[in-house]
Amino acid sequence: MKKKLKWISVGLTALLGLFVVLFILKSEHNNQDSAPIVIVQDTIVPANLLFDINVDSFEVIQSNIKKNEFLANILLPYNIDYGIIDALAKKSESIFDVRRIAVGKGYTLLISADSIKKAAYFIYEIDAVDYVVYDLRDSIVIERKKRPIETRIQTASGIINSSLYQTLQESNANPYLAVKLADIFAWSIDFYRIQKGDWFKVIYEEKFVDDNSIGVGKIEAVEFKHFDRPYLAFGYDVDGRTEYYDEEANSLRKAFLKSPLKFSRLSSRFTMRRFHPVQKRWKAHLGTDYAAPRGTPILATSDGVVIKSAYGRGNGNYVKLRHNSVYETQYLHMSKRNAKVGTQVYQGDVIGYVGSTGLATGPHVCYRFWKNGKQVDHLKEDFPSAEPILPSIKADFMVKRDSLQIDLGLVVIEELKAASDD
Ligand SMILES: [Zn+2]
């Protein structure tokens, strides 16, 4: 559609140029004796660019790869012979393997606008950003390029009725924000317990290519009201990565994640006495069960070293981590393990996937926690915050926090409150 409009506008500009020239020529003809000589300047028509190529002298064909469509059946009708197609495929290998050309992906053919109709360029779009240009004019030149990405600051807010994901969708925000927010507040909000009436406002970067959103970038600031308590997060770049702090510059990262799953349902708590669903007898349950669909990633709840990655009859596939001299954690019933004994893992790393191996009735992860060698209920532990913000950058953070607070509208709310108190 856009392309069509572009062509129409180019056509109109050209036509207008022609009229101007004709008009001037005509008036020159009529006033041959008296009129001064008019110097006709070239009408400057802006070059029509597609993938950085001036396409004014080409016929443009844009389409998507169809089933059973390959380089050969696309290029043969446009006078590129098998020999050249073969050479092109070989030459392309180190840049982009043409065997990876996939159904549904966009491509553009630039054809000589003469009677020969020979393909001059073939452009294949790998994704929304990356594309490959095959210049077929003389010797084959192949180049992998990127479209320019534009970053815009966006704001989204909403009151949660069902899930955060759905609320984001309904407010036309990118639902992927839900995952990002769950990451930021992983240490303070249990996203399973999000309830009706919770609300949020988020300021974030969104990346665009030609006005089409291609994804969410950095989250700048969030206010999340959960159980009537406001949670604030302000992004601040430290050593090339974005860390999140609250309004008092406390890190939002705690020593342990609240749960080894991003979205989960707590299905059985730590207890000294419960009726075992498989063994059908009363026994202690020294872990916390989180139910989730099979295959859900299981995350290391803190940095540590893998000390066990094995299969046991009761535990099924399980992984055990040692975090420091005090804490150890274990994750049971995995469908698949993703941890090697002796390797270092970091908080949030995927160490396995939810399953129901061993003694389990359905897919869940049994999360076990040791403190000084004794199994404890991690939900009852009070963990320290991670590293506080460095004193050297705190003042700068506070300046940024102030401006983000204005963007979130927090200052205005405070002022209104103060005004209504008078
Ligand atoms: Zn369990």
- Ligand 1 centroid to 312 CA: how many Å? 14
The answer to whether residues 246 and 153 belong to one domain is yes
Cross-sheet strand order for the sheet of 212-226: 150-159, 199-209, 212-226, 229-238, 241-245
Domain that holds residue 215: 149-254+392-422
Q: For residue 121, what are the β-bridge partners?
A: 110, 135
CB contact at 8 A, 393 and 243: no
Q: For residue 234, what are the β-bridge partners?
A: 221, 245
Q: Per the structure, how many domains does the chain have? A: 4
Q: Which of 30, 46, 62 is the last residue of a domain?
A: 46
Residue 385 counted as domain residue: no
- pLDDT string in tens for the chain (422-residue length): 445 545 555 454 554 444 444 444 444 444 444 445 555 555 566 678 899 999 999 999 999 999 999 999 999 999 999 999 999 999 999 999 999 999 999 999 999 988 889 999 999 999 999 999 999 998 899 999 999 999 999 999 888 888 888 888 888 888 888 888 887 887 777 676 677 888 899 999 999 998 889 999 999 999 999 878 889 999 999 888 888 999 989 888 777 888 899 877 788 888 877 777 777 677 788 999 999 999 999 999 988 899 999 999 999 999 999 987 778 999 999 999 999 999 989 889 999 999 999 998 899 999 999 988 899 998 888 766 666 788 899 999 999 999 999 888 876 555 555 655 55
- Ligand 1 centroid to 221 CA: how many Å? 36
Residue 260 counted as domain residue: no
- Ligand 1 centroid to 142 CA: how many Å? 56
DSSP class of residue 380 equals G
- Ligand 1 centroid to 419 CA: how many Å? 53
Residue 387 counted as domain residue: no
Phi/psi at 83 (nearest 5 deg)?
-60, -45
- Ligand 1 centroid to 332 CA: how many Å? 8
What is residue 199's three-state secondary structure?
strand
How do beta strands 58-64 and 106-112 pair?
antiparallel
The answer to whether residues 363 and 286 belong to one domain is yes
Residue 1 counted as domain residue: yes
CB contact at 8 A, 321 and 342: no
Residues 6+ apart with CB under 8 A from 143: 95, 132, 133, 135
The answer to whether residues 275 and 376 belong to one domain is yes
CATH of the domain at 94: 3.10.450.350
- Ligand 1 centroid to 255 CA: how many Å? 22
- Ligand 1 centroid to 6 CA: how many Å? 62
pLDDT for the residue 363: 95
Residues 193 and 367: their CA atoms lie apart, in Å, by 18
Residues 236 and 13: their CA atoms lie apart, in Å, by 49
The answer to whether residues 211 and 298 belong to one domain is no
pTM of the model: 0.58
Residues 330 and 322: their CA atoms lie apart, in Å, by 9
CB atoms within 10 A of CB 304: 22
CA angle 397-345-327, nearest 5°?
85
